[in-house]
Amino acid sequence: MKKEMICIVCPVGCHLEIDENLKVQNNKCKRGEVYAKKEILNPTRMLTSTVRINSKHQARVSVKTTDAIPKQSMFKIMEMLDDVALEVPVNLGDVVIKNVLDTGIDIVVTMSLKA
Ligand code: SF4
């Protein structure tokens, strides 16, 4: 049975079809084929969220993964971030969780905040 998906690699947004043998159709370029296969075999996403911070200016600070993580790890990582509480100051790029779930990917702060 064919699966349909929209390629999000570029603004063209090709409507891809991929069959059970991983044959991709309707892609205008090779990147669409790579995207469709990855979406079937190992879908990944960048994760952005916030964590608590002990600051008089704001209660939470934004964080993100340094690369796309396996989609099935999202909820587990969100639970881990619930337990994080940072202290000011923090700087852009500070590592909040290193090598999260052994993915080789870190969670980092996306802004600087003074004490
Ligand atoms: S298949 Fe190629 S042209 Fe089409 S949306 Fe994906 S990247 Fe863009």
Q: Name residues whose C-beta falls within 8 Å of residue 90's C-beta, 6 or more positions apart in sequence.
A: 53, 61, 109, 111, 112, 113
69 & 28 share domain: no
- What CATH number is attached to the domain comprising 88? 3.10.530.10
7 & 56 share domain: no
105 & 59 share domain: yes
37 & 52 share domain: no
12 & 52 share domain: no
- With a 6 A CB cut-off, is 49 part of the ligand 1 pocket? no
Q: How confident is the model at residue 115 (pLDDT cuts 50, 70, 90)?
A: confident
What is the 11 CA–ligand 1 centroid distance (Å)?
8
- With a 6 A CB cut-off, is 36 part of the ligand 1 pocket? no
59 & 98 share domain: yes
Query: What is the residue with the minimal CA distance to atom 2 of ligand 1?
Result: 29
27: containing domain = 3-41
At 22, phi and psi to the nearest 5? Answer: 65, 30
Is the residue at 115 inside a domain? no
In this predicted model, what pLDDT tens digit does every residue of 53-106 receive, in sequence order? 999 889 999 999 999 999 999 999 999 999 999 999 999 999 999 999 999 999
* Average pLDDT, rounded, for the chain: 96
- With a 6 A CB cut-off, is 31 part of the ligand 1 pocket? yes
Average pLDDT over residues 6-20: 97
